[in-house]
Amino acid sequence: MTTKRKHMLLAAAFATAAFIPCARAAAPLAKTPAPGYARITLGDFEITPLSDGTADLPMDQLLQQKAEATRAALQKNFLALPLETSTNAFLINTGARLVLVDTGSGAYFGPTLGKLAANLKAAGYQPEQVDEVYITHLHPDHVGGLASNGRRVFPNAIVRAARADSEYWLSQANAGQAAADKKGFFQPAMQSLAPYVQAGKFKAIERDGELVPGIRAMAAAGHTPGHTVYLVQSRGKKLLLIGDLVHVAQVQIDNPEVTIGFDSDARAAFASRKQFFDGAAREGELVAGAHLQFPGLGHLVEQGKGYRWVPVNYTQPR
């Protein structure tokens, strides 16, 4: 081999080494969240759980039991404090109507939340397509995504929430009298609902009953005065959207008596949890929770004094 040819081979080898990373050359960590939506079918309906993100919450201080008991339950489940807690919303396509249940936090909390609109788009829908928005209760992590800079995020939607909640949270008098730890809930509720109220697009739910074919509102008061759950039914399949009947699955499903500091009326919140958990377990209804680990879907099975949580299997539309 000539010297010139050797040099050419050597140059080619270096060029290859420079441009094709070898196995040891590390790719940067992506550090972006995995896609924040899931998809299941329920009879003729399509359900799209949407993630609003997560928040780290000091559940040992918020849950109304000894901090040590919460710490132990979380540890047993390989979870740490503060607990990274999901916030989920659920989009229901009935074939005739597109209904969103809850809207996440919008801009009210830090950068780990407020991702609902982006995930709605990632799931193949635009906010303009949403016909109805049903709110489980008017806490900021459920209504915060309704408006952005005072404008409606869902310009073509009618917004529904129980009258007991809208009367309570939209009242300046109640805001003035509220305990210090609950005062901060009022302004986000007022700001988020205002553009819909002004446009004549807010319609309070007066009583239990069907809102559109296949979706029924049912009062489940306690967490807030008008906390509402929604039962979705298609061709004999049932999905119960339970909102904030539970915040920490690893504690409150085993032991539904444990309440949380955010409850307006802790005794009533426990009674509602028990009533709807009993019904869902008896009927074998699929359950969807706003703060159960995303996608927040599973079944409740009676066990001892409480229940056991069985997350859904992963499925693809077919």
Question: Exactly one of 52, 60, 244, 263 binds Zn ion (CB under 5 A); which one?
Answer: 244
Binding footprint of Zn ion, residue count (CB under 5 A):
2
Per CB under 5 A, the segment of 12-20, 106-114, 137-145, 156-164 that binds Zn ion is: 137-145
Decide if 230 contacts 215 (C-beta within 8 A): yes
By CB under 5 A, is residue 132 in contact with Zn ion?
no
Report how far residue 301's alpha carbon sits from residue 286's, in angstroms, rounded to the nearest whole number: 11
Question: Which CB atom, from 188 or from 298, has the smaller least distance to Zn ion?
Answer: 188
CB of 247 to Zn ion, least distance (A): 7
By CB under 5 A, is residue 263 in contact with Zn ion?
no
CB of 114 to Zn ion, least distance (A): 14
By CB under 5 A, is residue 102 in contact with Zn ion?
no
Query: What Rg do the C-alpha atoms of the chain give, in angstroms?
Result: 24
Question: Which CB atom, from 201 or from 223, has the smaller least distance to Zn ion?
Answer: 223
First to last CA, the chain: 62
By CB under 5 A, is residue 141 in contact with Zn ion?
yes
Report how far residue 280's alpha carbon sits from residue 272's, in angstroms, rounded to the nearest whole number: 12
Decide if 245 contacts 292 (C-beta within 8 A): no
Question: Which CB atom, from 45 or from 230, has the smaller least distance to Zn ion?
Answer: 230
CB of 206 to Zn ion, least distance (A): 23
Under DSSP, is residue 194 helix (H, G, I), strand (E, B) or coil?
A: helix
Per CB under 5 A, the segment of 63-71, 140-148, 163-171, 174-182 that binds Zn ion is: 140-148
Per CB under 5 A, the segment of 50-58, 117-125, 138-146, 204-212 that binds Zn ion is: 138-146
Question: Which CB atom, from 137 or from 214, has the smaller least distance to Zn ion?
Answer: 137
Per CB under 5 A, the segment of 180-188, 243-251, 299-307, 308-316 that binds Zn ion is: 243-251
CB of 106 to Zn ion, least distance (A): 13
Question: Which CB atom, from 89 or from 234, has the smaller least distance to Zn ion?
Answer: 89
Report how far residue 228's alpha carbon sits from residue 139's, in angstroms, rounded to the nearest whole number: 12
CB of 215 to Zn ion, least distance (A): 20
Say which amino acid occupies 306. Answer: G
Report how far residue 162's alpha carbon sits from residue 140's, in angstroms, rounded to the nearest whole number: 15
CB of 314 to Zn ion, least distance (A): 25
Question: Which CB atom, from 21 or from 82, has the smaller least distance to Zn ion?
Answer: 82
Question: Which CB atom, from 45 or from 159, has the smaller least distance to Zn ion?
Answer: 159
Report how far residue 195's alpha carbon sits from residue 213's, in angstroms, rounded to the nearest whole number: 27
CB of 236 to Zn ion, least distance (A): 30
Strands 151-152 and 147-148: what pairing? antiparallel
For the chain, list the strands marked E by DSSP: 40-42, 45-57, 83-93, 98-101, 132-134, 147-148, 151-152, 158-162, 202-205, 209-212, 215-219, 228-234, 237-241, 286-288, 297-303, 306-311
Decide if 88 contacts 269 (C-beta within 8 A): no
The residues of the shown chain that bind Zn ion, judged by CB under 5 A, are 141, 244
